[in-house]
Amino acid sequence: MPTYDRKCMILMDQKLKDVTRRLYNPNKRPGIPGKKHWIKIDRTKKVYGQYEVTACYPQRFGDMNEADAHREGFDSLWEYKKYFFSINGFVEDDELVWVMEFKILWTNKEGIIL
């Protein structure tokens, strides 16, 4: 499992992460409130948990604050942005990102086959 996937899984398993951000595409909303999703990594058959989307909306990347970074599971906004850029490349503060809030229904950090 890639390092960033492992980090996210640990944060979700410890209930330290309840929001995620994705690059903005107006034609592809990453989540619909009320919909349940499996937590899968690297398109394998293993399932690491399940979450339910509670909200999904666009936000300017530069509007993030320290509290948002903590909900992402990071100690600081700087730490989160460094992580985000390592996955997605640099994003300007004026660019939109999708913000998807969720609640964890269950996790299994070892993964199971359903």
How many domains would you assign to the chain? 1
Quick one: which of 31, 41, 7 has its CA closest to 101? 31
Indicate the range of 2-11, 28-37, 51-60 predicted with least confidence: 2-11
Q: Check pLDDT > 80 for residue 1.
A: no
Q: Check pLDDT > 60 for residue 2.
A: no
CATH number of the domain where residue 50 is located: 3.10.400.10
Q: What is the pLDDT of residues 16-44, one digit of tens each?
A: 999 999 999 999 999 999 999 998 887 77
Direct distance between the N- and C-terminal alpha carbons of the chain, in angstroms, rounded to an integer = 19
- Look up the pTM and report it: 0.89
Domain that holds residue 18: 3-113
Q: What is the pLDDT of residues 59-86, one digit of tens each?
A: 999 999 999 999 999 999 999 999 999 9
CB 2 within 8 A of CB 76: no
Read off the tokens for 68.
Answer: 């948002």
Q: Check pLDDT > 80 for residue 5.
A: no
How far is residue 99's CA from residue 109's CA, in Å, rounded to a whole number? Answer: 24
